[in-house]
Chains A and B, each alone.
Chain A
Amino acid sequence: MPKQQKRSGVGGWLFLALVLIGYGLSFLLNPELTTDALTFFRRVIQQVLPVLGIVFLFLFIANFLLTPTKVKHYLGKESGLKGWVASIVTGIFSMGPIYAWYAVLAELQKEGMRAALIATFLYSRAVKLPLLPLMIYYFGLTYTSVLCLYLVVFSVIQGLLIDRLMPHKT
């Protein structure tokens, strides 16, 4: 197993251990509230489980189809305009909780995906296609259209800012 992967694995378990310690402390201070939090967790994990299946599938597809050359071509330094368009479109169409996508993006990052395009992907996820009808219901069509347009525009601006701030890998 590569050293980096081993380290991130340990980091994940440490994170989980810290959260569990937090729960332990919370239980000592307020057992009722902690029980409520655990009930909430049980409900959320039931909703997230099917999404994890999709994440596994996406990870597999990414590992099977994407080679460093391909990633560098579409989302790497030389990807140009098609890289930006690909990040926005895939970001908008990506489903499920954001943290589930970190794993897919981390794999792509290892294969040469630009930090700018990862930032653009993550920001354009703010346009939630399946929830648009509900947003229109609550805030109106004009508001939703204007907000979504700005979200897409600023996803590129964020990518450009990240591009300037992050060191470039050679």
Chain B
Amino acid sequence: MQKESHLKKSLLKTIRAFINILPIIVGMLLATSLVVTLFPEEISTGLFGNGVIPDAMLGATIGSIAAGHPLASYLLGGELLSGGVSLIAVTALLVTWVTVGIVQLPAEALMLGTRFAVYRNFISFGIAIIIAFLTVYTLQFLGAA
């Protein structure tokens, strides 16, 4: 009897929470769709070639703004690499693509708190650049780059 009541209570709580997140998810998807359509891949390819650090910053910035399936970042990263863009910049892009979310920031702030969301995204951006350099230097050390 007590278990049944707990089950019912949990279900109601879940439905309430789900109704609360629905407008955020739909809004997020709408915002993402608009951003992806506004900034097609061709724009980003011609922007690199200004030195390792500016390129890494640019890669990280594009990855932070871009929203979409991570697979799209592999495709874009692959294209940029074959277009002569450095592996550091491409790695920064790949990492921020999945760790920083400028478009998702309002949703993250609403759900987890503004302070947390801002700190987390800011730190993730910095870490992505560090990881990009470390990954490429490690590959060079291993003789694989």
What's the Cα separation between A105 and B78 when bound, in Å? Answer: 33
Q: Quick check: A33 and B38 within 8 Å, CB to CB?
A: yes
Q: Give me the interface of B with A, judged by CB distance under 8 Å.
A: 6-7, 10-11, 13-14, 16-34, 36-38, 70-71, 74-75, 77-78, 91, 94-95, 98-99, 101, 104, 106-108, 110-112, 115-116, 119-120, 123-124, 127, 130-131, 134-135, 138-139, 142, 144-145
Q: Quick check: B99 and A123 within 8 Å, CB to CB?
A: yes
Shortest distance in angstroms between A18's beta carbon and chain B's nearest beta carbon?
A: 8
Q: Quick check: A59 and B123 within 8 Å, CB to CB?
A: no
Shortest distance in angstroms between A75's beta carbon and chain B's nearest beta carbon?
A: 14
What's the Cα separation between A165 and B135 when bound, in Å? Answer: 27
- Chain A binding site: helix, strand, loop or mixed by DSSP? helix
What's the Cα separation between A106 and B116 when bound, in Å? Answer: 12
Residues of A within 8 A of B36 (CB): 37, 40
| A81 is an interface residue with CB less than 8 A from chain B | no
- Residue of A12, A16, A147, A154 with most partner-chain B CB within 10 A: A12
Query: Chain A: how many interface residues by the 8 Å CB criterion?
Result: 68
Given A56-B18, A63-B10, is A103 in contact with B111 using a C-beta cutoff of 8 Å?
yes
What's the Cα separation between A79 and B117 when bound, in Å? Answer: 23
Q: Which residues of A in the span 1-58 have a Cβ within 8 Å of any Cβ on B?
A: 1, 5, 8-9, 11-13, 15-16, 18-20, 22-23, 26, 33-34, 36-38, 40-41, 44-45, 48, 52, 55-56
* Partner of A162 from B20, B91, B119 at Cβ < 8 Å: B119
Given A15-B106, A134-B71, is A98 in contact with B101 using a C-beta cutoff of 8 Å?
yes
Q: Quick check: A56 and B33 within 8 Å, CB to CB?
A: no
Which 3 A-B pairs give the minimum distances between C-beta atoms?
Answer: A102-B111, A41-B33, A16-B27
Residues of B within 8 A of A119 (CB): 116, 120, 123
What's the Cα separation between A106 and B22 when bound, in Å? Answer: 14
Q: Quick check: B74 and A151 within 8 Å, CB to CB?
A: no
Residues of A within 8 A of B34 (CB): 19, 22-23, 26, 34, 37
Q: Mark A126-170, 1 if CB is under 8 A from B, else 0.
A: 101001001100111011001100110010011001100110000
Which B-chain residue is minimally distant from A40 (CB atoms)?
A: B33
